[in-house]
Amino acid sequence: MPFEPLVTGIIETTLNRLIIDAPEHQKQVSRLKGKVIKVHLQELDRQLVFVFSHQVDVLSHYEAEPDCYLSLKLAVLPELKDQSNITRLIKQDKLVLEGDIQLAQKFSQLMTDIKPDPEEWLSRATGDVIAHTIVQGTKSQAESLKQGLLNQQRRLSTVVTHEWQITPSALEIAYFCDQVDELAGSVSVIEQRLDRLVAKL
């Protein structure tokens, strides 16, 4: 199976599953019914086309003119909800937008609001109590792992700067910068004196 149809199929199935699970998302989709939005993802240099009907169809190619075309990085998408951000993003070359601005905002709102709930999905197979225990346990393990990595990073930083003295500490860097500033000031004073002396001569 080609890669692009596989990816679009996964995105489409996931989106529609999440939409079915939440009545508020179904209302959002109904407001986009009959619209076509083409999104160019700059990080991947790929495009996804979202065709809205009673559900969302996701395509990798679409020959006709879409109602709205967006070219952006994924991180920019949530910012489209606020219309005041759109002009700024365009000026900063973070967004190319052609077509209906309000359509772009509705699409952004839908994509930002849709968040999978792993606990809800897992509870269908295992029951509420087991699903809650598994999800909370996983979150706890992830937090412990993150904290452990931060502690290791701090220890390594301490060893490198204080014990092995490979890199200077933050205070040493600040002191060095202060000395450089003082030296620059002294050089500036000497230059001014020399200029006055040359002018007199």
Q: What is the pLDDT of residue 132?
A: 60
Q: What is the pLDDT of residue 126?
A: 65
The highest-confidence range among 3-12, 44-53, 117-126, by mean pLDDT, is 44-53
Q: What is the pLDDT of residue 19?
A: 84
10 Å CB burial of residue 33 (0-12, 13-18, 19+) is exposed
Q: What is the pLDDT of residue 160?
A: 64
For residue range 15-61, list pLDDT tens digits in order.
888 888 778 888 888 889 999 999 998 888 889 999 999 889 999 88
CA distance 28 to 135: 28
Which one, of 107, 109, 32, 16, lies nearest residue 70 by Cα? 107
Q: Find out whether 34 and 64 touch, Cβ atoms under 8 Å.
A: no
Which has the higher per-residue pLDDT, 138 or 91? 91
Q: What is the pLDDT of residue 1?
A: 42
Q: What is the DSSP letter of 2?
A: -
Name the residue ranges covered by the structural domains of the chain.
3-116, 119-200
What does DSSP say about strands 68-72 and 36-41: parallel, antiparallel, or unpaired? parallel
Q: Find out whether 91 and 126 touch, Cβ atoms under 8 Å.
A: no
Which one, of 113, 106, 112, 108, lies nearest residue 95 by Cα? 108
CA distance 32 to 103: 8
Q: What is the pLDDT of residue 58?
A: 92
Chain mean pLDDT for the chain: 80
- The fraction of the chain above a pLDDT of 90, given in percent, is 12
In sequence order, the 6+-apart residues with CB closer than 8 A to the CB of 154 are: none
Q: What is the pLDDT of residue 164?
A: 63
Read off the pTM. Answer: 0.56
Residue 121 pLDDT level (bands cut at 50, 70, 90): low
Is a pLDDT exceeding 90 seen at residue 131? no
The architecture (CATH level 2) of 3-116 comes to 2-Layer Sandwich (3.30)
Is a pLDDT exceeding 90 seen at residue 196? no
Q: What is the pLDDT of residue 65?
A: 92
Is a pLDDT exceeding 80 seen at residue 105? yes
Is a pLDDT exceeding 50 seen at residue 98? yes
